[in-house]
Each structure stands twice: as C-alpha cells, then as structure tokens.
Amino acid sequence: MNFNRSILDWYSENKRNLPWRETADPYKIWVSEIILQQTRVSQGLAYYNRFINAYPNITSLASAKEEAVLKVWQGLGYYSRARNMHTTANVICSKHNGVFPKTYQDVLKLKGIGEYTAAAICSFAFNQKYAVLDGNVFRVLSRFFDVRTPIDTTLGKKEFQKLANKNLSQKNPGTYNQAIMDFGAIQCTPTNPNCGVCPINYLCSAYENDSVKELPIKQKKQTKRTRTFNYLVFLQNENTYIEKRNGNDIWKNLFEFPLIEGTQILSKKSLITLLSQNFNLKETADYKIVSCVKLAHHLTHQKIVSTFWKIAVCNTKVNLNKNQIIQIKSQDINKYPLHRLTEKYLESKCVWNDFSTL
C-alpha cells in the first residue's frame, strides 16, 4: 500500500468535522487558513465562526472599517493577518470584481498569502494539484521518510517540497492535503505520539529506527527580545485615556493606555518627574498614584515586561489629550480593538477604582 493511499484511508475514518471542510468557497477556506496560522484549531474554530458571521463574503469584509475588523479579531494575536486580509479583500473587489482568483499564481500575489496558503486554497477550493507544506506535513514526512535535513533551511524546504509533491494524490489532491495535515495534528503529534497504535506505523522509517523524537530537525534557535513598557492608566471622573499604536511594530493600529517604553520599569520618583515634564501634572494638586500592576507577556520573538500605573486625576480642568492620546468614557474601552496585554490588565482585579474615591 502506498503512502498517500494509507493517509487517505486513515483520514476516511478519523477526519475532523470542521465547517471549512464542508465548503468549496475559496473565501471561507482563505479565512480559515489565515486564522489557523499560529493558532490551534480548538481556538481558531470560534474565531472562524465569529469572523464569518461578521463578514460572510469578500464584499462585506472589503467594505468594513479596519478598526472593526481588528475588533472581531481581538484576542487571536498576530494582527497583521487581519490587516492583510482586509487589504486583500479590497484588492479582490477592485481588481477581480469581487471574485476570488482561481490560479495559484494569482492567489500567491495577494497580500498575506504565501506558498502554503496558496496551495491550500487552490487544492481545497479548486482541487488543483498543489501540495501543502505546513508544520504538520513537515513532521509527518520527516518521520515517515527519515529526512534529517533541517526544516528551517532553504535546502530543507526545497527537499520537503519535492517530497510533498511526489506523494501528492493526483486524483484527490485537496482531500489528501487535508488528510496529511489532520494526520499530523491528531496521530503524528509533535510530542508523545502513540506510535504503537498508529495504523500505518509499518510505513514509518522513524518508528522502525526508534528516532521519532528526533524528528523533524530544526537548525535555528529563536532568541527573544525583552522590552519594558510603562503604561499610564489615567482615571478622571468617569473617563480614561487611550492611544492607537502606529508604525511597523507589534499590535499596529490597536489601542492601549498611554505608553512610555524604556530600558527599565519606572520608579515612583521617576514617574512623578515624567508626569510633571510630559503632562504638566503636579503631585497632590492634580493627581495621586493609586496603584501599579506588573504583568509579563510573551510573544513569539519578544517578551514584554510591563507595569500599569493607575493614576487618579483629581483636577477636573486638566486635559491630557496629547499627540495620539484621546479621552474616552472608561466604560467604553472595550468598544475599541485592544491587544492581549491590555486585556490582561483589564481582567485583573485592581483596575478601576470607585470613582467616588478620585
């Protein structure tokens, strides 16, 4: 029995029932694939349903405001995915008359779509012969064929793509691609795969050689950059202040409390000096520091060490609008798209004081 036939047979008995599997609509398949980048299916499913309910087709997504799209995406992370989808929806409407392109080359030209996603869309929606190559597929192929070339090298990617193409089912490429991805997610898992009960372990070189735990091989080790954020949570009557992040940095176009980034967490003395210099606030006369909350937040390549300083502004005449900082009702903060670190702070128990104490 050949490899792809065995994978397809396994899939017929074990496939997951997922909504994007029940459609050939390239738009919905595209949405699912973008959501599932860097996201587990168990988490992505709820976001997929939420996104499709909000934007059931390309036209509705294209006509939406980016801020609204980011709000629907909130909590999923890697927000450039949502921004790219919004841009791409507008391109499809303007250049393709609202019809999702059908050729691999045209799909690949769309912003936010790489070789894997283009192959997935073209094979799932149009049953075209393009082999997908994601983390699950890398793992399955490396183990079954005992490939030791590092998957995060140019040579490795070329070798695995050639192997993936060779094993692609010519009759059912879309179904086969879904099958091998599911096999990697359910059966041939990253850690502790139960190889003894795998129905096709007799085809697996790594199982035969007792080298399953060694594969796949990665060459590069990622190092994390540490950044220090000091947030100023101003409370003034029933208002607070927020600002939108700009520039090509994390959380672009999301909202947060006014931020001071530095090399270290501010001391209370340094904070008092900063409030005087940057906001012309005088301690006691204009404000009091209520509390501070320290939170760490981990991203793929960064670690954020943060402190949220809660500052009660008792002088009602003070206007802290400055640069990108805007005043809003405290109760309205969840109407804005927020990044996860701000959400974590809002979920903590010591965020808002009773306004009568200000």
2, two tokens? 């050949």
Picking from 175, 335, 351, the residue whose alpha carbon sits closest to that of residue 255 is 335
From the list 13, 22, 33, 238, the catalytic residue is: 33
CA distance linking residue 53 with residue 33, whole number of Å: 16
**How many other CB atoms sit within 10 Å of the CB of residue 254?**
21
Chain CA centroid to CA 345, Å: 20
Which residues are CB-contacts of 99 (< 8 A; sequence separation ≥ 6)? Answer: 92
Nearest to 355 by CA among 241, 240, 258, 235: 235
Q: Is 90 exposed, middle or buried (0-12, 13-18, 19+ CB in 10 A)?
A: middle
Q: Give the number of other CB atoms < 10 A from CB of residue 76.
A: 21
Q: 58 to each of 10, 94, 202, how far by Cα in Å?
A: 34, 11, 45
Q: Is 33 a catalytic residue?
A: yes
The catalytic residues are 33
